[in-house]
Amino acid sequence: MKKHRKKKKKNHLLTIILIIADLFAISGFILMYGPWAHFRNIFVTTAMKTRNHQYLAYVFYNEKMIKKIMDNNYFIEINEDVNLDDIVIDTAEKKKYKDKYEEELFTRDPGNDSYKVLNVKVGNAKGYLIAIYEPEKVRLLRTPKFDNGTYGERVVDMCKRYDGKVCINGGGFANGLSNGSDIPMGYVIDDGQVLWPRTKTNEIKGNIIGLTDDGKLKLMSNSTGEEAINAGIKYGIEFGPFLIINGKSAEIVGMPFGVANKCAIAQRKDGVIMFLVTEGESYIDGASIKDVIETLEKYGAYNAANLDGGQSTSLVINNQLINSPNYLAKKQGGRYVVTGFGLLK
């Protein structure tokens, strides 16, 4: 009798587990195939813009459906280069401010005339906006090598090696060599020289995010490394898209980049450089690219570019990783990357 009751209890527990599993399955089916087009857009565009998780979109949808969703969510960049003459560097506190955002940005923290960290809301996501008052001290960060067994470096370690105060990750990367080394996806320019790619730097074209020697953010579309250097870029990477050019914001239809951790670099007309980093533990609770643009617009960004996001997103202040790219990345101190930008001492 006792044995029978034990078996009955076990079967009852199994039934409950199966019911819960069925409810999850039904909920997932309703979300993926129900009337919520907004959720489908977020799920598919986010998955398809990642390097390692595109398969998630194909688990639920066929090629035709994915293409339809992607075609209805797109991004149109401003087709011009940054005019550096518009940037007149004057980062001192002002006597009068245009609005509360400008006042918040320029009011220094006691004893810190170098940078300020603002806690901001970027869409529904938590974010950090760093105002940098010394743009001439912002430099490229990079791993010492891009081959011969180099597997990237965490931003927290890179920042420490460069003696940086505030650092973020930069461009994308790939396992591109036979030995599995991490290499940059596109140009890397350091101290006025193209370090990557190794050859044909006067032929390959891309979107280049660069800094001049005096700390002006220069964004150049469809340009070679040599053209970037000739235009005054001393430190730069290839990535994008460009979000704001000469005060004009890119046009966004739908949600072309989904929602996830985001990272961006921007500059105001008065020269203040801004780093923007957002949180997002999963592929449904982060910020959209439109959220990023709207936040930067509030704080007066005149030029801005998207940097590598997702699990690569890293904000390091005083040798501490501040954000949470996800649980594992936070526990490990951040993902291994190949480039970044930092405010150096």
Q: 15 and 135 in one domain?
A: no
- Among 57, 75, 93, give the residue marking a domain's end: 75
pTM: 0.81
Nearest to 317 by CA among 118, 142, 126: 118
Count of domains observed in the chain: 2
Give the C-alpha separation, 83 to 294, whole Å: 22
Give the C-alpha separation, 229 to 227, whole Å: 5
Residues 256-306 pLDDT 10s: 777 889 999 999 999 999 999 999 765 567 899 999 999 999 999 999 999
Q: 169 and 40 in one domain?
A: no
Q: What is the pLDDT of residue 42?
A: 60
* CA of residue 294 relative to chain centroid, distance: 15
SS (H, E, C) 228-281: HHHCCCCEEEECCCEEEECCEECEEECCCCCCECCEEEEECCCCCEEEEEECCC
Q: 212 and 172 in one domain?
A: yes
Residues 80-110 pLDDT 10s: 889 999 999 999 999 999 999 999 999 999 9
Q: 329 and 237 in one domain?
A: yes
Q: 129 and 41 in one domain?
A: no
* pLDDT above 90 for 137: yes
Q: 67 and 84 in one domain?
A: no
Type of residue found at 25:
A
- Which residue range(s) make up the domain with 61? 2-75
Q: Which helix (H) or strand (E) holds 107?
A: none
Q: How many residues does the chain have?
A: 345
Give the C-alpha separation, 309 to 216, whole Å: 23
* CA of residue 147 relative to chain centroid, distance: 24
Tell me which of 216 and 56 has the higher pLDDT: 216
- Among 58, 75, 92, give the residue marking a domain's end: 75
Q: 88 and 67 in one domain?
A: no
